[in-house]
Chain A
């Protein structure tokens, strides 16, 4: 009998809501709720222009980001991530769900 493949270790969102242009709210499959301001998402952008690819060091200067920066557009990338277009025109970051769960301010989910 063919079995179903189990891979539940990854963080899986149940619901993703964009609250105006201010913040993003994710309910995870374990019912944990994360809320991110677009400022937080912008300064945690993982793209190659914001984080050095080889050293992993942050290139982006958080001070250059407006504290009330707005998020214009949020799209789902394939099955595993989100892409966000910010007010400053930046849109190259791909935020895997797992990464989003990691940067949640609760800090509970730090394994992996």
Chain B
């Protein structure tokens, strides 16, 4: 039996499709470092995000397809990830931040910050380099949820982000003294957000998650005007009044051409701690229906659970504190869905720039 050739292996791998990008993994350029030594074939698959929801599936399919070729005894597939930068990101100070994702809501109190913190932790757990910016000037809560407070250091005119659980984070709360509120008019909020984005030493990041204040105020406007977002995620509770207000934030983002990466239903249901029966406190499924009508991806539903709140209050998000809990698994799945949506968006978006030409 003759030795298998590289062409034969690539031909076989061409039948493996990425279900999100709708192209085969060879055409997408995912296959790297293909080596053949007699009956042993080894190659790497470079995905567009370490949080790929179909990572295991692709690995198995590629392995099986190659193994089925005649003359192949052993197949070694190494999975790697290289996060593609959002094409539209262009601010110099953030040049090493590949994707900025805004997490917004209409109403306050729907759990935006809890969701942001857990998604950031989930993405980081999957191997991505993650930053987190708490842009909520009214209720900056991320320092508590990340378990690290106090003022950040400044080095060479750049704010040094705090690091907790492997995540770099910055909070508008750092601009306030202790338990004092931030009493700012628009221009102050604008300047502070700009600083938190541009004057922070974020370094190399795959994802920067921005936790927005509720509504559609100064902070939102500054964000969409200062940077090019990879996209935004809306968090909503299922009841009508919450959803209705979420739509306003959604429309604002649409008007400023921000890609809507998806909607998350938070406080979706509650499992009774005594009898385990399911209670749908705010109603159920409203967000999923809305996402269908608006043709925006539905990223998942998160239950109302005491341990999610407790872990956030204690400074170790549930994704890290209790990785085996159902809630942590749900967060992980949502993070993977989100990462997939970002990869899809980056494959389809074009870079826009102003070209200067002589008249």
A residues with a Cβ closer than 8 A to B are 2-7, 10, 12-23, 74-82, 94, 96-97
Q: Which of A15, A78, A80 contacts B226 (CB 8 A)?
A: A78
Q: Could you give 15 example pairs across A and B, Cβ below 8 Å?
A: A2-B20, A4-B295, A5-B297, A16-B352, A17-B355, A18-B355, A19-B358, A19-B359, A75-B354, A76-B90, A76-B228, A76-B352, A78-B256, A79-B258, A80-B257
List, in ascending order, chain A residues with CB within 8 A of B340's CB.
2
Contact A79 B359 (CB under 8 A): no
List, in ascending order, chain A residues with CB within 8 A of B354's CB.
16-18, 74-76, 82
Q: Count how many pairs of residues, one from A and one from B, have CB atoms less than 8 Å apart in the complex.
A: 89
Q: Which of A13, A21, A78 contacts B229 (CB 8 A)?
A: A78
List, in ascending order, chain B residues with CB within 8 A of A97's CB.
257
List, in ascending order, chain B residues with CB within 8 A of A19's CB.
357-359
Tell me the minimal C-beta distance from B210 to chain A in angstroms: 13
Number of interface residues of B (CB under 8 A): 37
Tell me the minimal C-beta distance from A48 to chain B in angstroms: 13
B225 interface residue per 8 A CB criterion: yes
Q: Which of B229, B257, B344 contacts A10 (CB 8 A)?
A: B257
List, in ascending order, chain A residues with CB within 8 A of B324's CB.
none
B356 interface residue per 8 A CB criterion: yes
B353 interface residue per 8 A CB criterion: yes
Contact B224 A78 (CB under 8 A): yes
List, in ascending order, chain B residues with CB within 8 A of A78's CB.
224-229, 256-258
List, in ascending order, chain A residues with CB within 8 A of B257's CB.
10, 12, 78-80, 97
